[in-house]
Structure 1
């Protein structure tokens, strides 16, 4: 019996641990990291709560130590996906009708488990499987995931409280129903928290979900599966389907019961999925909801009044944290020539202190890129830049893949603002700088017109009027816009995240807006004393009109 209007604990952002030398959290994480590094796991698809052997085995290796095995995962087959669809549809009835507070309790418990006993394991899995240093793992796999779980519950409660007005004798209500069918969640390698949020946000609202993680994130994805199971999520609510894109995606897109796509990944893949959904529209029971966050070619603009040290720091952190493998990473930088010498001096001093290496050594700021395909793509850009006449390799440019995919953080200075690294998404530790003596307005026009993306961007200036002007002129250029800060590091509940143009549907993960996409609203009108005859007063005879 549910006879209370539940108010969940107020959501607050999970404090970020420092992992400083001598701290207990550092020792605890290192112990877990070294233990997991020495173990091997077997990861299987999970369908209706049962782990299924498929015989299609892939090995798992740290990107920074390819000679080490972390175990294997087995890829889902078409028949597994079809079974998962049937299971999700069967689970939908009971999960959707469970009181919202019971569903919320699963994710609030998951948040507390992650903030406590699961924290080291989730962070260590992200460090090993995705080559993140301890701080990058902490802000992602621990804090942001906890924040998603807690804030989504709070947003859901606030959303349901938004109700229509009622006239006398009438009670109007709005129900926030789950979508009819199942949601398909496709998640990326670069953020463990996104891999958790994309399936769980729709699930919180009563949807059942088929979840396809990135193959290169499967190692930490398994920890998410274990976390949710311990938190009490019923079998069939989130079906875990590691595997190849077509093997999982084709039967999903062919199902008449596809109700939504929750996606983070490349623009090309998102375009393909949207196109296939469009081709199948006549087949679906309802129009699928499509939510996607895709690519970025994110910028920093430094006005002549900017603080050079702040600009240089934003370049280093914004471009090279997690090897630039963030869709929000700063990759094109526009600097006024009057401050460029000071920016360059600060940049050189900071980059001289950066070391590159495996995550087990906590002193490394930069670790390995995710796989050989990414390594080859990024280093191809670097080698072409070395050979170009109108590009200077200011810092870095070295790379190696003897046992890990290591690329030194690289700064290029391009004479041409249309040079390929100024325009194309690299997704690696490469920042391209254009030092321009153009007018500031011309520079802003260049920034706005250069890229098909509109995800994140930053403007540095001490002059308040300049900040206001740039904010107005670049209104459509970035969904997350930063003033005197790097264009990365959005925090749930503080900076709802997402961009437009080629960067996605801008449905703002980490806010109520995203949750609304996973609800199908129903308006209810109840009349307490209904009319008993069709007539209205205007039908009566007026004596003055006789």
Structure 2
């Protein structure tokens, strides 16, 4: 309960979002990582006669730096514990805006028997931490969730220090995306509306997987979807995270508030955009931004290509006969995290699965693009969205281990010469 309360108060998560995060997802990571770790041990190499082959998993030589974000307490716990599970020593640097919940997670680990010095909780200035670890000859890997810019700077710093590091550090990064709902005219529009409201505005859009773009056919937009979405958005209540009537609360800090409100101001002053709903921002007491829906004429404009990480949904109504061209727009994105196709036409779904095969690490059919569950939808994306190592999946732990193959020979070699040489 303390962990859930800290997540609500410190990170402005509503009771539902905090419960999903701390009581469900964190527990799932711990349970399934242990299960996957045990399954790894079941592999036994083939042993021919007079030989015994074995395979064991070793820790990496050096330390792992776990750099966690503010938006999910569970991610912080997973970045640190999954690497420690494979025998590694971990330096855990939490987000400046999630220190309390992450510290409580660390305390729970210790209370459960984690030995001192295995996971080391180190709140620190981000650039200082990155500068120190990327120059250390003992760096064995980095487990990171955060912004594209930060991960790129870390990767660049490591590359510049490789000679002094002396090994090849393992780099795992999950960096967000520009996620979309692609709607075909055959879709159930009420389902699209409800799914989009949740995907775009839960936790104020501060999820790596949050829906940022809605591609919608014009034939459905003006006559049906637009008024329904407007009504739903206007019904959203925002306020104190501890009030059960609130759908979401404040964004995380002033930096985020200024960035998100800046996009709204940009749209307000541009002829390419129309603010359809919301748009008000208030930082007089907390950092509150209304759920905002913006319609655009330009599918390649600023709000359609840049990650915002806030409660802004940009809508591009397309001509119904231009549906196929939307696939190409999506394929051109620098991001590759999540996306959804909504359609009741099976051929359209098959086309989406084929044409968008290389785009998203997590793809959804007739479902919102958020809400992945450990061991149900292992999570991660490629391109600028990260290394796609799939947290919550069976192969994630392999990144944090250095396997060793062992051969025991029971036959005596009686001659160094090959048989054909003796003939």
Deviation of 1:295 after TM superposition, in Å, equals: 2.4
In 2, Cα distance between the equivalents of 1:329 and 1:518? 28
Residue in structure 2 matching 1:207, options 69, 82, 88: 88
Deviation of 1:475 after TM superposition, in Å, equals: 1.1
Deviation of 1:537 after TM superposition, in Å, equals: 3.1
Residue in structure 1 matching 2:242, options 360, 378, 387: 360
- 1:447 maps to 330
In 1, Cα distance between the equivalents of 2:56 and 2:384? 33
Residues 467-526 of structure 1, C-alpha deviation per residue, up to 9 Å, x if partnerless?
110111111221000000110011000000000000000000001221100010111001
Deviation of 1:540 after TM superposition, in Å, equals: 3.9
SS in structure 2 at match of 1:397: coil
SS in structure 2 at match of 1:533: coil
- 1:348 maps to 230
Residues 182-202 of structure 1, C-alpha deviation per residue, up to 9 Å, x if partnerless?
101111001100011001101
In 2, Cα distance between the equivalents of 1:531 and 1:489? 59
Deviation of 1:460 after TM superposition, in Å, equals: 0.2
| Aligned ranges 1:513-532 → 2 under 5 Å | 513-532=395-414
In 2, Cα distance between the equivalents of 1:517 and 1:237? 18
In 2, Cα distance between the equivalents of 1:399 and 1:446? 31
Deviation of 1:532 after TM superposition, in Å, equals: 3.1
- 1:128 maps to 9
Residue in structure 1 matching 2:379, options 488, 497, 503: 497
In 2, Cα distance between the equivalents of 1:387 and 1:125? 39
Which structure is larger by alpha-carbon Rg, 1 or 2? 1
Query: Does the alignment pair 1:161 with 2:42?
Result: yes
Deviation of 1:225 after TM superposition, in Å, equals: 1.4
SS in structure 2 at match of 1:144: helix
Q: Do the aligned residues in 1 keep the contact of 2:234 with 2:278 (CA within 8 Å)?
A: no
Runs of 4+ in 1 over 3 A off after TM superposition: none
In 2, Cα distance between the equivalents of 1:280 and 1:229? 33
- 1:295 maps to 176
Deviation of 1:345 after TM superposition, in Å, equals: 3.0
- 1:433 maps to 315
SS in structure 1 at match of 2:241: coil
Q: Do the aligned residues in 2 keep the contact of 1:145 with 1:197 (CA within 8 Å)?
A: yes
- 2:391 maps to 509
TM, length-normalised to structure 2: 0.97
Query: Does the alignment pair 1:280 with 2:161?
Result: yes
Q: Which runs of 5+ in 2 are unaligned?
A: none
Task: Number of aligned residue pairs: give it.
Answer: 421
In 2, Cα distance between the equivalents of 1:228 and 1:290? 24
Residues 20-58 of structure 1, C-alpha deviation per residue, up to 9 Å, x if partnerless?
xxxxxxxxxxxxxxxxxxxxxxxxxxxxxxxxxxxxxxx
Query: Does the alignment pair 1:321 with 2:214?
Result: no
Q: Which runs of 5+ in 1 are unaligned?
A: 1-119, 542-546
Q: Do the aligned residues in 2 keep the contact of 1:184 with 1:261 (CA within 8 Å)?
A: yes
Q: Do the aligned residues in 1 keep the contact of 2:294 with 2:312 (CA within 8 Å)?
A: yes
In 2, Cα distance between the equivalents of 1:158 and 1:144? 21
| Aligned ranges 1:400-415 → 2 under 5 Å | 400-415=282-297
- 1:224 maps to 105
Residues 410-438 of structure 1, C-alpha deviation per residue, up to 9 Å, x if partnerless?
00000111221111110000000000015
SS in structure 1 at match of 2:98: helix
Residue in structure 2 matching 1:241, options 91, 97, 122: 122
- 1:397 maps to 279
Q: Do the aligned residues in 2 keep the contact of 1:253 with 1:277 (CA within 8 Å)?
A: yes
SS in structure 2 at match of 1:216: coil
SS in structure 2 at match of 1:254: coil
Query: Does the alignment pair 1:483 with 2:365?
Result: yes
Q: Do the aligned residues in 2 keep the contact of 1:186 with 1:262 (CA within 8 Å)?
A: yes
Q: Do the aligned residues in 1 keep the contact of 2:234 with 2:277 (CA within 8 Å)?
A: no
Deviation of 1:402 after TM superposition, in Å, equals: 1.1
- 2:138 maps to 257
In 2, Cα distance between the equivalents of 1:421 and 1:219? 33
In 1, Cα distance between the equivalents of 2:127 and 2:311? 30
In 1, Cα distance between the equivalents of 2:405 and 2:355? 40
- 1:461 maps to 343
Q: Do the aligned residues in 2 keep the contact of 1:498 with 1:504 (CA within 8 Å)?
A: yes
After superposition, the CA RMSD in angstroms is: 1.1
SS in structure 1 at match of 2:390: coil
Deviation of 1:327 after TM superposition, in Å, equals: 0.8
Deviation of 1:256 after TM superposition, in Å, equals: 0.4
TM, length-normalised to structure 1: 0.76
In 2, Cα distance between the equivalents of 1:195 and 1:247? 19
Deviation of 1:535 after TM superposition, in Å, equals: 3.4
Of structures 1 and 2, the one scoring higher in RCO (CA 8 A, sep 6+) is: 2
In 2, Cα distance between the equivalents of 1:370 and 1:462? 38
Q: Do the aligned residues in 2 keep the contact of 1:308 with 1:346 (CA within 8 Å)?
A: no
In 1, Cα distance between the equivalents of 2:110 and 2:248? 33
